[in-house]
Structures are given as structure tokens and as C-alpha cells.
């Protein structure tokens, strides 16, 4: 009995290790082939807007895409902040209402679905979201830009 | 006419249909261990090969949300269920069989000092290396546990890893002192006349082929059972504490008389009535366990980052290691030991006793256990588990989706909390208040057990102040908004 259980466990471990050769699709995902840029109105805890600009490889704005976002913190267990927009401003920019729900390091994953069904995805780091509450309704653009200047934002290098 | 006092009959969990026979079954523990082993393998696989993105990796989600939450609820409802099904001990059992003539753990390490140090180190490493944010580091720790358990058990003849080394086990041992079950025996008379003491010696060492013993309804020989005795060398009829009990139930399976039981008890019985060990290391362990409950939560709120930055500037260092070591050194070591010794000294002085400070400390320190556990329960069980446990469903669906197994559908990322988020704060506060009341009750009971005369309210006052202080500090920390430690230290 004992030997059978050890054998079974060993087989299962081998199966997992073999499966590991393939890895997960999301772990292996590379560049989307699209030029995706993101800009946050505020980087303090509270509500804000994320401005996402989508362009093709030639730098032409894409205005007929659907953009959805998923904001996660660097740790497990937080409910992600989700948003979606298919309304471009004509220059490939999509504005999505957003909320930084906690101070700390965030990742925003942007998924872009083009009209022909092509999907592109990029993940962006927003390190050091401030714990000081903000509200876009009470914030003029000058404040917003100042906050953005203090923020470390970079494209994730997975 | 005087009547003889008879002990109340104890409820034996092992007599519950289905559960009892499963736990008693020779391979019963292995069933639980195999389940947890498979989960551990899954975590290792995803941690090493999956996206290095903590919110979407099973290793970080299951380890830091579910493992911690489930074990604290386990202590509350049953006991040390993780150690019972610990997957790390599967290779340990194999190692034990390979190393029959292993040596003994060195005498100077046969205490909890190393475990206290490792527990402290674990909490420090958790914050410094941002383990909660790193699938890879998380699974390296899991792998390290397997390796450490195997080699220590292969070298030494006893369960060294469980009893003296494992930080998780150390945490579990202290937590289980307020659990509602405990290993005990049906009849001490049976034990006193038992020739083999198989519950501690195991059946492989004591059996004789020609001496059949009763096992259930049938009759079998001892040598054919080959069940290990208690790895942590506890003798079932003398057990009055869950400290060092891994609830492996090897003693239950090894006993040829079916005399070992898993009895239900008052959760406060051990801390209020039990013969608590009068040892420095045990007392300090409980103090560290209690204050680490605060230190661990303090590591995730805004003021600690300001404190770290101030220390880093003062010390002129760029790395977080030293400031964090100083902060945790104060909150998790210096404060508990200092305040514990001060309280014991004051209690002894007020009571006008001449006993050793070690004795006074051991008398009162168990009173911290219920409150400390309630803070851990509120933190791990309330805030993290109830606030986030459902995240495992989309994460698992995403895992399946990534492997092109689409039958569960795409992940629904809106799932996270088990209870409404606005219930959590009141629930945590009530949990801690119940812990405080339980601790005050235990404190009073411990006072009654002082030699010669009861240690009254005034003698207990220093400990009351510590308990109330811990409660208020936990309220303060729990009501602060959580802030995640930044990946880049900005000291």
C-alpha cells in the first residue's frame, strides 16, 4: 500500500514536471505588436481616470478597439479593479474611470481587442501609489500632472 | 456522606462515524498528507513555471491567503490540522525508514530557542523579501521545507524538524494551546500496565511475532503493524498540552489497546488549568508569538514605512534590511521579553514572593495565548481569508485557461471576498475582544493557582495592562488602512 502511494505520488509529480515544460500561456506571452501607452490622472488612493493610447506599429492611432483593464496590486488576494472602454477620442485614446483602492505597488494589465479580433496585451507597473486620498472631482489638472510627475511608471518586463 | 469525584466522560472525536475510522486507519494520515502533497506540487509547478505575478499565481494565493486562513480556523474549530496533514513529513517518514540508527538532537538545542529565532527570522524575511509578492520565492520556501525536513529526519532519530526547527510548526504548537481537542487516553490504568508503550515507541521496535495483539475486531501481530510512535516523544497518558503535538495520531494507531483518544476539551483548559511548562524558552515563545501578532500586522501599515525611512536616513543605509530588523527586533523580541520580565518582576514583588522569576513568568504568560491567537485569527482568518478567499476561483480558472482547459470557463475576476468587506472590521474587533475576555479569564484562573495564596487583582495588574495594551494596539493597527510594502525601498 505504502509503495503504491509513493509510486502514485511520484507519477503525479512527474506528470506535473512534464506539464511544466509547456508552462502557462500567460507566463509565456510576449509583446502585443501594438503600441500601448497608459497615463494616470492621479497616483494617490482614490478615484481617477486612466488614459490609454493605442497605436499600430506605424504609429497610427487605432480608434475602433475595445480596451479593458485589470488593476492588481503586487500581492495576492486583492479584488482587481476592472474597467472597459470602446470609445476613442479620435486619436486612439480611451479613457477609463479607475480607483486606486490601496496604497502600494500596482500593476495595470491593458487588453486591447481590435475590430478584426486581434488581441494585444501589455502590463504596466505603477510603483508607489500614495496613501493620501485623492478625488478627481476635487482635483484640477495641474495637481494631477504634478502627481503624475512623481510617479514611477514603467512597462512591465515579464 | 462524601462522594467520590469522578472525571467527566470525555467526547472522543475518534468515535464519530466515518471520521473516526478514517483517522484511526493505518493510512489515514497519509490520505490527508497526499492531498496536501498534491496541492504543494501544484503550487511548486505554478510558482516555478507560471506567471511571476502574485495575484494570478496559485502559489502566492494559496500560500498567503488560504493556508494561513484555513489553519487559524482549524485551530479554532478542531486543532493542529496542518501538522496532521503536513506534506513535508511524507519524505520525513521515508527518511526515518532510511536512517534507523540516527543520532539524537544535541542537548543544547533541545528547547525552543532555535524555533523562536527561526520564527522571528521567518517574519522578518516575509517582509524584507516581499514573499507575498513573489511566486518564485514562495515556492523556494516550500521546496526548502521539504529538503530541510528530509535531511533532518534522515540524520536524527526523532522528529527534530517538527519539534525544534519548523517555524510553521512552532506557530501551530502555540496556537493549538487554545484548540478544543487534545490527545488523551481512555484509561490511565491500561497505560500503566502496558508493556510496550507503543504510543511512544512505535510498533516496529517493540513487537514480537509470537505475541498477537487485539486491533479492532481482528487479531494481528504487532510486527505487521509497523506504525511509528510519537515523533516528538510525547507519552499519551501524560499529555496535558498541545505544545509539541502534531496531531499525527501515530499514537492512536500504534496503541494496541485502542486506549488513545482525541478528546474534546474546553479550549481554555490548557492555558488556565494545565500544568504549563515552567521553562524560559516556552514562556518567551508565547510572548514572542503574542507580540509578533502585532508586529506582523504593523509591517503592512503606513506608519511602519515612515519609521523605516526615518531609521534608514538616521543610519544612512539604502537597504531595508537593517531598519526592518531593528523594528521587528523591538516589536517582536525586545518589547515582549522586556515587558514580560517586567510584569513578572512586578507581580512577584506585589505578591511578596521569593520564587524564581521563571516560575512567576510561567504562571502568567499562558494568559497571553488566547488574545494573541485572536489577533492572528482576526488578521489571517478575518482580514486576509474572509476578505480574499474567493480569489482562488478566478486564479484557478485562469490557470486552467492558460493550459487550454476551457471547461471551467474564463476567470471571473470580480470574485474576492467571502463576506461583505464592511463586515470585516467589526468582525475582527469582536474577535479580538473575545480574545481579551478569554485572556482575562485565564489570567484570573492562573492567579488562583499560585502556591499558598491566590495572586489577586493587584498581582495580575501588570499582565492586565499588557493585555489591554496589546488589544488597543491591535485596534489601532487594524483600523489603519493597509498599505502594501513597495518593491523599491525608498529610505
Q: Quote the CA–CA distance of B303 and B91 in Å, as a whole number.
A: 43
Of A20, A24, A76, the CB nearest to B64: A76
Name which of A77, A107, A113 to mutate to probe chain B: the one with the most chain B Cβ atoms within 10 A of its Cβ.
A77
Task: Show the cell assigned to B455.
Answer: 495572586
Name which of A13, A19, A76 to mutate to probe chain B: the one with the most chain B Cβ atoms within 10 A of its Cβ.
A76
Query: How many angstroms separate the CA of residue B404 from the nearest CA in chain A?
Result: 8
**Last residue in a domain, options B239, B272, B305:** B272
State whether B212 and B311 are in the same domain: no
**Contacting residues of A for B224, CB less than 8 Å apart:** none
Task: Show the cell assigned to B103.
Answer: 543520532
Whose CA is closest to B41, among B82, B83, B88? B88
- Enter the ipTM: 0.74
Backbone angles phi, psi at B135, to 5 degrees: -60, -40
* Range list of H helices, B377-420: 387-388, 392-402
Nearest CA in chain A to B380: A77
State whether B229 and B306 are in the same domain: no
Angle between helices B421-448 and B368-376 (to 10 degrees): 170
Q: Is residue B224 part of a domain?
A: yes
* Average predicted confidence (pLDDT) for chain A: 76
Is residue A147 pLDDT above 60, yes or no? no
Q: Are B235 and B197 in contact (CB under 8 A)?
A: yes
Q: Are B91 and B146 in contact (CB under 8 A)?
A: yes
State whether B288 and B415 are in the same domain: yes
Task: Answer whether B132 sits within 8 Å of A76, measured CB to CB.
Answer: yes
**Contacting residues of A for B53, CB less than 8 Å apart:** 72, 107, 123, 158
State whether B229 and B248 are in the same domain: yes
State whether B313 and B423 are in the same domain: yes
Position A20 scores a pLDDT of 54
Residue B478: in which H helix or E strand, if any? Answer: helix B457-479
Q: Would you say the C-alpha torsion B346, B173, B180, B69 has a positive or negative sign? A: positive
Q: Is residue B162 part of a domain?
A: no
Name which of B486, B488, B489, B491 to mutate to probe chain A: the one with the most chain A Cβ atoms within 10 A of its Cβ.
B486
State whether B282 and B258 are in the same domain: no
Q: Is residue B152 part of a domain?
A: no
**Last residue in a domain, options B272, B298, B316:** B272
Q: Is residue B86 part of a domain?
A: no
Q: Is residue B48 part of a domain?
A: no
- What DSSP string describes chain A? -HHHHHHHHHHHHHHHHHHHTT--HHHH----SSEEEEEES--EEEEEEEEEEEE-TTS-B--S-EEEEEEEESSTTPPPEEEEE--B-SSSEEEEEEEE-SBEEEEEEEEEE-TTS-EEEEEEEEEEEEEEEEEGGG--HHHHHHHHHH-EEEE---
Exposure string of B429-467, with b = 16+ CB inside 10 Å and e = fewer, is bebbeebbebbbebbbbbbeebeeeebeeebbebbbebb
State whether B421 and B336 are in the same domain: yes
Task: Show the cell assigned to B480.
Answer: 489603519
State whether B244 and B292 are in the same domain: no
Task: Show the cell assigned to B92.
Answer: 520525513
State whether B267 and B289 are in the same domain: no
Q: Are B324 and B124 in contact (CB under 8 A)?
A: yes
Q: Quote the CA–CA distance of B8 and B266 in Å, as a whole number.
A: 12
Strands A104-113 and A119-135: antiparallel
Position A92 scores a pLDDT of 93
Q: Quote the CA–CA distance of B314 and B330 in Å, as a whole number.
A: 17
State whether B456 and B485 are in the same domain: yes
Q: Is residue B457 part of a domain?
A: yes
**Contacting residues of B for A76, CB less than 8 Å apart:** 54-55, 57, 60-61, 64-65, 132, 388, 391, 395
Residue B264: in which H helix or E strand, if any? Answer: strand B260-264
DSSP state, residue B233: -
**Contacting residues of B for A107, CB less than 8 Å apart:** 53, 55
Position A153 scores a pLDDT of 47
Exposure string of B338-351, with b = 16+ CB inside 10 Å and e = fewer, is ebbbebbebbbeeb
Angle between helices B321-328 and B280-298 (to 10 degrees): 130
Is residue A158 pLDDT above 50, yes or no? no
Position A154 scores a pLDDT of 47
Position B338 scores a pLDDT of 98
Q: Is residue B407 part of a domain?
A: yes
Q: Are B488 and A152 in contact (CB under 8 A)?
A: yes
Q: Report the largest interatomic distance among the alpha carbons of chain A, rounded to a whole angstrom.
A: 72
Q: Is residue B482 part of a domain?
A: yes
State whether B427 and B481 are in the same domain: yes
The domains of chain A, with CATH numbers, are 33-155 (2.60.40.1080)
**Cβ-Cβ contacts under 8 Å for B173 (sequence gap 6 or more):** B80, B242, B243, B244, B245
Q: Quote the CA–CA distance of B115 and B288 in Å, as a whole number.
A: 11
SS3 category, B166: coil
**Cβ-Cβ contacts under 8 Å for B40 (sequence gap 6 or more):** B87, B142, B146
Q: Are B131 and B125 in contact (CB under 8 A)?
A: yes
Give the CA angle between residues B366, B367, B369 to the nearest 5°: 70
**Last residue in a domain, options B242, B272, B302:** B272
Q: Are B63 and B132 in contact (CB under 8 A)?
A: no
Position B225 scores a pLDDT of 45
- pLDDT tens for chain B, 491 residues long, are 455 555 566 799 999 999 899 988 888 888 899 999 999 999 999 999 999 999 999 999 999 999 999 999 999 999 998 999 999 888 766 776 666 567 889 999 999 999 999 999 999 999 999 999 999 999 999 999 999 988 888 888 778 889 999 999 999 999 999 999 999 999 999 999 998 888 988 775 444 444 444 444 444 444 444 677 888 889 999 998 999 999 999 899 889 898 999 999 999 999 998 678 999 999 999 999 999 999 999 988 888 888 999 999 999 998 999 999 999 999 999 999 999 999 999 999 999 999 999 999 999 999 999 999 999 999 999 989 999 999 999 999 999 999 988 889 899 988 888 999 899 999 999 999 999 999 999 999 999 989 988 999 999 999 999 999 999 999 999 988 777 655 445 44
Number of domains in chain B: 2
Q: Does A63 touch chain B (CB under 8 A)?
A: no
Whose CA is closest to B383, among B334, B435, B425, B436? B425
* Full residue range of the structural domain in which residue B204 is found: 186-272
Query: How many angstroms separate the CA of residue A61 from the nearest CA in chain B?
Result: 29
State whether B456 and B314 are in the same domain: yes
Amino acid at each position: 500500500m505504502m509503495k503504491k502511494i509513493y509510486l502514485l505520488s511520484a507519477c503525479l509529480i512527474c506528470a506535473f514536471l512534464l506539464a511544466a515544460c509547456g508552462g502557462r500561456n500567460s507566463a509565456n506571452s510576449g509583446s502585443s505588436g501594438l503600441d500601448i501607452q497608459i497615463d494616470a490622472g492621479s497616483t494617490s488612493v482614490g478615484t481617477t481616470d486612466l488614459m490609454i493610447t493605442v497605436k499600430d506599429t506605424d504609429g497610427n492611432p487605432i480608434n475602433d478597439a475595445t480596451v479593458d483593464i485589470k488593476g492588481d496590486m503586487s500581492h495576492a488576494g486583492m479584488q482587481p479593479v476592472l474597467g472597459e472602454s470602446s470609445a476613442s477620442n479620435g486619436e486612439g485614446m480611451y479613457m477609463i474611470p479607475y480607483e486606486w483602492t490601496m496604497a502600494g505597488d500596482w500593476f495595470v494589465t491593458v487588453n486591447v481587442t481590435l475590430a478584426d479580433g486581434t488581441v494585444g496585451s501589455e502590463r504596466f507597473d505603477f510603483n508607489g501609489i500614495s496613501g493620501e486620498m485623492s478625488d478627481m472631482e476635487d482635483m484640477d489638472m495641474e495637481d494631477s500632472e504634478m502627481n503624475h510627475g512623481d510617479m514611477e511608471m514603467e512597462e512591465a518586463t515579464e | 456522606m462524601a462522594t467520590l469525584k469522578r472525571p467527566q466522560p470525555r467526547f472522543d472525536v475518534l468515535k464519530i462515524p466515518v471520521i473516526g475510522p478514517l483517522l484511526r486507519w493505518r493510512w489515514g494520515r497519509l490520505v490527508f498528507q497526499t492531498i496536501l502533497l498534491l496541492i504543494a506540487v501544484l503550487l511548486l509547478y505554478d510558482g516555478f513555471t507560471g506567471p511571476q505575478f502574485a495575484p494570478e499565481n496559485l502559489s502566492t494565493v494559496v500560500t498567503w491567503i488560504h493556508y494561513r486562513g484555513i489553519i487559524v480556523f482549524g485551530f479554532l474549530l478542531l486543532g493542529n490540522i496542518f501538522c496532521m496533514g503536513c506534506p513535508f513529513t511524507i519524505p520525513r517518514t521515508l527518511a526515518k525508514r532510511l536512517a534507523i540508527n540516527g543520532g539524537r538532537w544535541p542537548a543544547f538545542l533541545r528547547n525552543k530557542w532555535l524555533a523562536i529565532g527561526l520564527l522571528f527570522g521567518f517574519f522578518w524575511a516575509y517582509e524584507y523579501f516581499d514573499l507575498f509578492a513573489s511566486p518564485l520565492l514562495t515556492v523556494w520556501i516550500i521546496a526548502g521545507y521539504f529538503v530541510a525536513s528530509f535531511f533532518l529526519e534522515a540524520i536524527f532519530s526523532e522528529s527534530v524538524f517538527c519539534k525544534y526547527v519548523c517555524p510553521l510548526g512552532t506557530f501551530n504548537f502555540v496556537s493549538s494551546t487554545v484548540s478544543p481537542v487534545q490527545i488523551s487516553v481512555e484509561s490511565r490504568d491500561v497505560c500503566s500496565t502496558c508493556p510496550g508503550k507503543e504510543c511512544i515507541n512505535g510498533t516496529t521496535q517493540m513487537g514480537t511475532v509470537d505475541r498477537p495483539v487485539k486491533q479492532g475486531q481482528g487479531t494481528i501481530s504487532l510486527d505487521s503493524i509497523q506504525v511509528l510512535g510519537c515523533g516528538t516523544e510525547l507519552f499519551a497518558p501524560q499529555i496535558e498540552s498541545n505544545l509539541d503535538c502534531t496531531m499525527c495520531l501515530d499514537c492512536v494507531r500504534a496503541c494496541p489497546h485502542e486506549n488513545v483518544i482525541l478528546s474534546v476539551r474546553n479550549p481554555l483548559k490548557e492555558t488556565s488549568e494545565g500544568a504549563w511548562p515552567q521553562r524560559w524558552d516556552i514562556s518567551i515563545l508565547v510572548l514572542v508569538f503574542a507580540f509578533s501578532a502585532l508586529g506582523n500586522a504593523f509591517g503592512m501599515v503606513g506608519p511602519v514605512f515612515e519609521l523605516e525611512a526615518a531609521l534608514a536616513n538616521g543610519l544612512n543605509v539604502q537597504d531595508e534590511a537593517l531598519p526592518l530588523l531593528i523594528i521587528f527586533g523591538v516589536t517582536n523580541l525586545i518589547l515582549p521579553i522586556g515587558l514580560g520580565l517586567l510584569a513578572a518582576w512586578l507581580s512577584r514583588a506585589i505578591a511578596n514572593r521569593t520564587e524564581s522569576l521563571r516560575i512567576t513568568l510561567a504562571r502568567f504568560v499562558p494568559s497571553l495565548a488566547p488574545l494573541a491567537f485572536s489577533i492572528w485569527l482576526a488578521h489571517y482568518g478575518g482580514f486576509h481569508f474572509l476578505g480574499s478567499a474567493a480569489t482562488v476561483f478566478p486564479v484557478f480558472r485562469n490557470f486552467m485557461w492558460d493550459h487550454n482547459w476551457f471547461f471551467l470557463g474564463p476567470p471571473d475576476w470580480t470574485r474576492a471576498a467571502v463576506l461583505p468587506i464592511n463586515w470585516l472590521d467589526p468582525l475582527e474587533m469582536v474577535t479580538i475582544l473575545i480574545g481579551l475576555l478569554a485572556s482575562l479569564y485565564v489570567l484570573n484562573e492562573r492567579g488562583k493557582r499560585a502556591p499558598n495564596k491566590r495572586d489577586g487583582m493587584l498581582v495580575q495588574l501588570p499582565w492586565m495592562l499588557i493585555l489591554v495594551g496589546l488589544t488597543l494596539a491591535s485596534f489601532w493597527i487594524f483600523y489603519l488602512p493597509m498599505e502594501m510594502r513597495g518593491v523599491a525601498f525608498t529610505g
